[in-house]
Structure 1
Amino acid sequence: MNRKTFLKNLTATAAGVSLLSPKKFYGQSTGVVTAETKPRPSGPKKAIVLGGGLSGLYSAYLLKQTGYDVTVIERGDRFGGRISTYSNAESGIVQDLGGEWIGENQTDIKSLVKQLGLELVSANISERFLLSKTNSDSHKISSTSIDTLDKVIDLHKSLGTSQKQGLDKINFSSYARYQGLSEEEIRSMNELYRIILGADLNQISSESVLDDLSALQSALKPKYLVKGGAEQIIQSLVAQLKGQELLLGEMATKVSQQKNQVSVELSSGRTIKGNLVICTLPSAAVLDIKWTPTLPKDLIYSALRMQTGKISKNICFVKSNTGLSNFFQNTNTAAETFYVSDLAIGANITAVTSITTGDKASLFEKGSDRQKKILMESALEELGNFEIIAEKPFHFHSFQKTTGRSGFVSLFPPGSYGIKDVWNEPFERVFFAGEHLALHTGSMDSAVASSIQAISKT
């Protein structure tokens, strides 16, 4: 069944099904979490989902809609993976600390948000990511260079495979330099897109960057936020999975396939059996599992080639003032970039968010609270004009702690053209999904799109 047919059939199946209001069903302790205690159906269709992030939960939701009894296995102590939201009802502050922005043409995630009864609002800093002549002051790229970029982006749409393979051999910074962009312009693009990718453009294949810039669904074209925070998507999906088994603090250690059955052994010693597995784990985590039969060599090679960009988001609470609306500033400090979302402006308090990437992100992931506080205070000192709230000045969030992985979004370095393709076909009764396997990666939309693609093949 292809993707289009699958979605059409799913819509017909789900017609008339009312959606529940968002409600948190999970806490911060590890162990087994089930949404209710009534007996589980004993039907023959049983599916196991590895990973409780957006892709895993949405895969489970689609499987449930198509008649499967589902078990979701998540190694962490919370669902959501790379989606996390800080919210404070008293101050009226909402700020995403993981997946945050949604593009105008990211139809899969926009459709899901609508299905779940959630609302999108315009992201106040989204215009900054637009490579246009009217926006030249923000990104410091000349009109001539914008014309050059527009031409190569448009040309990319008509390139054949061999030409794309040629582009894939060099990084984007080198390609932009060849096209005549100055070092300052390249540096400006690096500052702009490392916020979304978690790495400089000199680490990424020029083919990968051009493919994203030319795509309507690109993560490099942010437009909206989820009102109330992206974690509401996770809470709503968990609510939709009422009656299914959702496991926290469990990790798959072995996956065995025999005829039409798949067995998954967990770190607790428990074994779960099903008809199929949807694996939404990052590629590196796939290699941590013992597979019987063993993974095909092309999957192993692809997993070893894939890389991830590091991003650390943290919050500083300051007294509100009129100058904070649309605030966005790059710095030369360890905290790198500061910005203020409209949703993060309270009556008297505003959450200023820092985005740190690459090796600097490791300082915030691995440092003590005292060390991180010193780094943030030093960065804010450089910016000036901030009056930090004394009672609770900072909120630090560790992506690595919540997911067990140091990376945030998928990166494809030079020489990686086509390495995602091998995951499109199932490995016997195991189907693969995840942000890193979508046609256009690096967004919540890519996580959702990959789930649709995987489930349509079951």
Structure 2
Amino acid sequence: MNRKTFLKNLTLTAAGASLLFPKKYFGQSTGVVTAETKPRPTGGKRAIILGGGLAGLYSAYLLKQTGYDVTLVERGENFGGRIATYQNPELGIVQDLGGEWISENQTDIKSLVKQLGLELVNSNIADRFSLTKANQEYHKISSTSIDTLDKVIDLHKSLGANQKQGLDKINFSSYARYQGLSEEEIQSMNDLYRIILGGDLNQISSESVLDDLSALQSALKPKYQVKGGAFQIIQSLVSQLKGQELLTGETAIKVSQQKNQVTVELQSGRTVKGNLVVCTLPTSALLDIKWTPTLPKDLIYSALRMQTGKISKNLCFVKSNANLSNFFQNTTTAAETLYVSDFAMGSNITALTSISTGDKASLFEKGTDRQKKNLMVSALEEVGNFELISENPFHFHSFQKSTGRPGFVSLFPPGSYGIKDVWNDPFERVFFAGEHLALHTGSMDSAVASAIQAISKT
């Protein structure tokens, strides 16, 4: 079944089910979700999902709609993967700590948001990522260089595979330098896109960056955010999976395939059996699992080649003032960029969000509370005279602790052209999904699109 036919059939099924979706949630500060666990019924179609992030939950939802009983296995204590939202109704503050932005043409995630009864609103900082002449006040790139970028992005759409492989051999910073951009202009682009990619443009293939910039679904063209926080998507999907078996704190250690059955052994000693598996784990996590039969060599090679950018979002709470509206500023400190979204502005208190990437993100992931507080204070001192609130002025979030993985979004270094294509076909009864495997990676739309693609092949 192809993707188009699958979506059409699913739409008819969902319409007949008369699904109801809750509209608003206020939970823990990072969106803790619990799930009802019930004994598995005997007989019928049964599926196992590895990974409880957006791709895993949406895969489970799609399979449930097509008649499967689902067991979902998540190693962390909460669902959501790299999506988390800080909510404080008393202060009137909502701020995403993981996936945050959605582009105009990311139709899969936009359709899901609408279906769940949620609402998209314009992001107040999204324009800063648009490299157009109208937005030159936000970056340091000349009109001539913008024209050059527009030309090479447009040219990229007509390139063949051999030409793309050639571009893939060099990083984007080197390619931009070859096209005549100055060091200051390249740094300006890097300051913008590391916030979304979690990696330096010196590390990323020029083919990968140009492919994203030329794509309508690109993560590099943010426009919207989910009103009330992106974690509402996770909560809504979990609510639709009641009656299915959703496990947290469990890790798959072995996957064995027989002719019409897959057996997954968990670290707790439990065994789960199903007709198929949808694996949404990062490729590095797949190498920690014992596979019978063994993973094919091309999948192992691809997993070893893929990289992930590191992003750490943290909050500092300051007394509100007029200067905080649309605030966005880069710093030379470990808290690299500070910004304020509209929903993070309360009447008296505002949450400034810091985004750190790469090695600087590791300082926040691994540092003590005292060290992290000092890093945040240094950033505040550099950008202005903000008055921290006296009680609990910081909120630190760690995806390392919640997911067990330090990475955030997939990165494709020079020499990685085509390495994710090998995951398109199933490995016997195991199907693969996840942000890192979508046609255009680095977004919530990528996770949703990959789930649709995987389930349409089951």
TM-score normalised over the length of structure 2: 0.97
Please state if 1:18 is matched with 2:37: no
Which residue of structure 1 lines up, in the alignment, with residue 416 of structure 2? 416
Q: For 1:75-224, list aligned pairs within 5 A.
A: 75-224=75-224
Distance 1:264 1:18 in 2: 31
Residues 311-365 of structure 1: per-residue CA shift (max 9 Å, x gap): 0000000011111111000010110000000010001000000000000100000
Q: Aligned pair in 2 of structure 1 residues 277, 27: CA closer, same or farther (>3 Å)?
A: farther
User: What SS does the corresponding residue of 2:211 show, helix, strand or coil?
Assistant: helix
Which residue of structure 1 lines up, in the alignment, with residue 264 of structure 2? 264
Which residue of structure 1 lines up, in the alignment, with residue 324 of structure 2? 324
Q: Is the Cα contact below 8 Å between 2:260 and 2:275 reproduced in 1?
A: yes
Superposition RMSD in Å: 1.5
Which residue of structure 2 lines up, in the alignment, with residue 285 of structure 1? 285
Distance 2:437 2:24 in 1: 29
User: What SS does the corresponding residue of 2:255 show, helix, strand or coil?
Assistant: strand
What's the CA shift for 1:383? 1.1
Distance 1:404 1:326 in 2: 33
Q: Is the Cα contact below 8 Å between 2:264 and 2:273 reproduced in 1?
A: yes
Distance 1:43 1:439 in 2: 36
Q: Is the Cα contact below 8 Å between 2:27 and 2:87 reproduced in 1?
A: no
Distance 2:309 2:64 in 1: 33
1:325 aligned partner, one-letter code: S
Please state if 1:358 is matched with 2:358: yes
Which residue of structure 2 lines up, in the alignment, with residue 241 of structure 1? 241
Residue segments in structure 2 that go unaligned for 5+ positions in a row: none
Q: Is the Cα contact below 8 Å between 1:23 and 1:239 reproduced in 2?
A: no
What's the CA shift for 1:456? 0.2
1:403 aligned partner, one-letter code: T
1:137 aligned partner, one-letter code: E
Which residue of structure 1 lines up, in the alignment, with residue 382 of structure 2? 382
Q: Is the Cα contact below 8 Å between 2:219 and 2:441 reproduced in 1?
A: yes
Q: Aligned pair in 2 of structure 1 residues 185, 15: CA closer, same or farther (>3 Å)?
A: same
User: What SS does the corresponding residue of 1:48 show, helix, strand or coil?
Assistant: strand
Q: Is the Cα contact below 8 Å between 1:338 and 1:352 reproduced in 2?
A: yes
Please, which moves more after superposition, 40-49 or 323-332?
40-49
1:230 aligned partner, one-letter code: A
What's the CA shift for 1:279? 0.0
Q: Is the Cα contact below 8 Å between 1:312 and 1:361 reproduced in 2?
A: yes
Distance 2:28 2:434 in 1: 24
Which residue of structure 2 lines up, in the alignment, with residue 341 of structure 1? 341
Q: Is the Cα contact below 8 Å between 1:58 and 1:451 reproduced in 2?
A: yes
What's the CA shift for 1:379? 1.0
Distance 2:24 2:142 in 1: 48
Q: For 1:386-401, list aligned pairs within 5 A.
A: 386-401=386-401
What's the CA shift for 1:33? 6.0
What's the CA shift for 1:14? 1.1
Distance 1:19 1:136 in 2: 45
User: What SS does the corresponding residue of 1:273 show, helix, strand or coil?
Assistant: strand
Residue segments in structure 1 that go unaligned for 5+ positions in a row: none
Distance 1:107 1:278 in 2: 23
Which residue of structure 1 lines up, in the alignment, with residue 275 of structure 2? 275
Which residue of structure 2 lines up, in the alignment, with residue 58 of structure 1? 58
Runs of at least 4 residues off by over 6 Å: 23-28
What's the CA shift for 1:44? 1.9
Q: Aligned pair in 2 of structure 1 residues 19, 122: CA closer, same or farther (>3 Å)?
A: same
Distance 1:144 1:253 in 2: 54
Q: Is the Cα contact below 8 Å between 1:33 and 1:247 reproduced in 2?
A: no
What's the CA shift for 1:35? 2.0
What's the CA shift for 1:390? 1.1
- State the percentage of identical aligned residues: 83
Residues 166-198 of structure 1: per-residue CA shift (max 9 Å, x gap): 000000000000000000000000000000000
What's the CA shift for 1:161? 0.2
User: What SS does the corresponding residue of 2:232 show, helix, strand or coil?
Assistant: helix
2:206 aligned partner, one-letter code: S
Q: Is the Cα contact below 8 Å between 1:433 and 1:454 reproduced in 2?
A: yes
Distance 1:46 1:336 in 2: 46
Q: Is the Cα contact below 8 Å between 2:34 and 2:78 reproduced in 1?
A: no
Q: Aligned pair in 2 of structure 1 residues 33, 26: CA closer, same or farther (>3 Å)?
A: farther
Distance 2:28 2:77 in 1: 8
Distance 1:258 1:24 in 2: 42
Distance 1:7 1:193 in 2: 32
What's the CA shift for 1:41? 3.7
Residues 358-390 of structure 1: per-residue CA shift (max 9 Å, x gap): 001000000010110011011101111311111
Distance 1:260 1:34 in 2: 29
Distance 1:247 1:134 in 2: 49
1:278 aligned partner, one-letter code: V
What's the CA shift for 1:13? 1.1
1:18 aligned partner, one-letter code: L
The size of the alignment, in residue pairs, is 454
1:338 aligned partner, one-letter code: L
Q: Is the Cα contact below 8 Å between 1:320 and 1:349 reproduced in 2?
A: yes
Distance 1:392 1:34 in 2: 30
Which residue of structure 2 lines up, in the alignment, with residue 369 of structure 1? 369
Which residue of structure 1 lines up, in the alignment, with residue 440 of structure 2? 440
Distance 2:398 2:272 in 1: 30
Distance 2:224 2:27 in 1: 27
Please state if 1:67 is matched with 2:63: no
What's the CA shift for 1:399? 1.2
Q: Is the Cα contact below 8 Å between 1:24 and 1:239 reproduced in 2?
A: no
Q: Aligned pair in 2 of structure 1 residues 193, 97: CA closer, same or farther (>3 Å)?
A: same
